[in-house]
A = this chain, B = another copy of it.
Amino acid sequence: MRHFVEELDQLSNMLLEMCSFVESAVQRSISAVTEKDLYAAEEVLSNEARINQIEIEIDDFAISLLALHQPMAADLRLIVAALKINTDLERMGDLAESIAHRAKSLMEAPMIKPMVDIPHIAGLVQSMVRKSLDAFVQRDAELARSVLASDTAVDNLRSASYHELISFMEHEPASIRQAVDLIAVVRNLERIADHSTNIAEDVLFMVKGIDVRHHAEGRYGLDEGHESD
């Protein structure tokens, strides 16, 4: 039997492979929308099965580590965090798949004006995804905290784009189907951001052993910022 430390490294490496698949799926699904890139959309849809497969492999491996070794303290937190991050990554993959479906539907019509919001929101969300994954790789609590601080900005952008798209529909009923697709894209991006937040919280739990979910720590130790809605 290999040494436990090597197995923990293997678990981290499997999760990193999952991260890179999911990050790529998110990035490609956004290109599919903003650049009407059909190839990118198809690529996301065809990679989903692989992401689902890796999710199962990681869960099985993590559970076998719990069963075979009796991990304590930091090792136990790493394995529990891996199980949770794995679930979040798989859901992010699902959301990228939903965005790819919307992208294909959007390709059937000329691009409408409110589109300009999407690259802005997408840029912020992609930055949250990247930082949360880097925070996991580097066990970097400060980086994880910076992800938590971005969540409100995404919520505000989502809310603004929602109202913009509603009033657009009211004035251009011919674009209703497209606008509904765009609302769904923005909502999916916001949910990807939420999962990045979950991952950042799991990193803080893993690194520091503290639980910051649902503001258990109180504003994540940050002073600035106000809650929206």
Contacts and interface: CB of A to CB of B under 8 A. Distances in A.
Number of copies: 2
B72 A67 contact: yes
A166 interface: yes
Contacts of A53: 214
A42 interface: no
Contact of A70 (B56, B70, B169): B70
Classify chain A: how many residues form its interface, as a range: 35 or more
A177 interface: yes
Tell me if A's interface is mostly helix, strand, loop or mixed: helix
Given A87-B87, A166-B177, A183-B180, A67 B76 contact: yes
Contacts of A66: 66, 71, 76, 80
Contacts of A55: 213-214
Contact of A214 (B52, B63, B76, B77): B52
B56 A216 contact: yes
A71 B70 CA distance: 9
Q: Which 6 A-B pairs have the closest CB atoms?
A: A52-B214, A70-B70, A173-B173, A169-B176, A67-B76, A170-B176
A56 B213 contact: yes
A52 B87 CA distance: 18
